[in-house]
A = this chain, B = another copy of it.
Amino acid sequence: MGLNIKDIAKLAGVSPATVSRVINGTGNVAEENKQRVLKVLEETGYKPNALARGLLMNKTNVIGVIVPDLSNINFAEFVKGIENEAKSNGLSVLLTTSENDTDSEISYFQLFKEKRVDGIIFSGTIFTERHREELEKADIPFIVFGQWFEHPKLTCVNVDNERAAYEATKYLISKGAKNLSMIMGPLWDRSAGYDRYSGFLKAIVEEGINPKDIVLEEGDFSIKSGYKAMKSILERKKIDGVLAANDFMALGAIKYLVDKGINIPDEVQVMGFDDNIISEIYNPSLSTIKIDFYEAGKMCVKAFIDTTDNKPIDKNILLPYQLIIRRSTK
């Protein structure tokens, strides 16, 4: 096996305590001894055992991260943001993916407990009684991304989805859309499902349109479901504008319209949500609400750090968003 601190101490002719002091820069060490230790450290390539240190200090400098799915480029960006911000703060990332499955999520909470991570960044769509139980038991900072779950121990990082959807809808209306439709996400997803739907509705009502006259379809955030939803909408009503609850569904919708030879944006305007990297290069390029997932990841780590530093911190952190107009709208 590798060397331990005693070996280094022997090689440098000092005690383990002195070696520890040199490594951590704690306490005073005579310059001569310090140099000798440094030299041995350099020569041997010794690295202190983080397990032993963690055991003693009750701190691992590791954060546990749970995301639904890395295939979704948004979450990949999110994790990238977390990883980069973690790195610059001397933290490591223990990564898990849950597919939004509650059983998995709970088992990861427990795994993180075993591994004694310093904090957890959680991105999931539902928060059950079981989640709550685990949370009660845990005594580490807990950051949630993408939802507003009510719990005193939770810090939530999210965008104001309702307002964003409201603005996007208003934009479509301002560009002449009169017969609007929406491809919603599942409503049990409070943020990307319900709140976006709710913002859309608000704009519609404000315009004096009867919600009953609106044709809605629900998708599962996949490209395919967007395609199907668009088809189903057009079979029921002639529309001239559609808001999708995410870019994938919007792209699916565009694909259907293109397949049918329907002109975008002249006949139908399409607006997405998230600003997926695909949206910019797609043909036609997609107008959308940009949410910066990379930045969101960094934000979560910062929130974690502030919490551990006992800085006062908002329980609900609002992320900025941005309306990006491309070719799929006028």
Contact = CB atoms under 8 A, between A and B. Distances in A.
A50 interface: yes
Contacts of A77: 70-71
A168 interface: no
A102 interface: no
Contact of A79 (B48, B95, B110, B251): B95
Contacts of A76: 70-71, 73, 76
B84 A80 contact: no
Nearest to A54: B51
A282 B254 CA distance: 11
A281 B76 CA distance: 20
Interface stretch (A28-36, A112-120, A145-153, A204-212): A112-120
Given A47-B114, A137-B45, A283 B282 contact: yes
B93 A58 contact: no
A255 interface: yes
A196 B111 CA distance: 42
Nearest to A56: B51
Contact of A73 (B50, B73, B93, B137): B73
Contact of A71 (B47, B80, B137, B281): B80
A223 interface: yes
Nearest to A1: B58
A49 interface: yes
Given A51-B116, A54-B51, A283-B282, A83 B95 contact: yes
Q: Which bracket fits the contact residues of A?
A: 35 or more
A198 interface: no
A46 to B, nearest CB: 9
Given A51-B60, A60-B51, A96 B97 contact: no
Q: Chain B CB within 10 Å — which of A55, A70, A73, A114 has the most?
A: A70
Contacts of A277: 71
Contacts of A1: 58, 139
A63 to B, nearest CB: 11
A48 to B, nearest CB: 6
15 contacts: A2-B139, A49-B55, A49-B114, A62-B94, A70-B77, A70-B80, A71-B73, A83-B95, A93-B96, A94-B95, A255-B281, A255-B283, A258-B283, A278-B281, A282-B282
Which A-B residue pairs are the 5 nearest by beta carbons? A76-B76, A70-B80, A95-B95, A51-B55, A50-B114
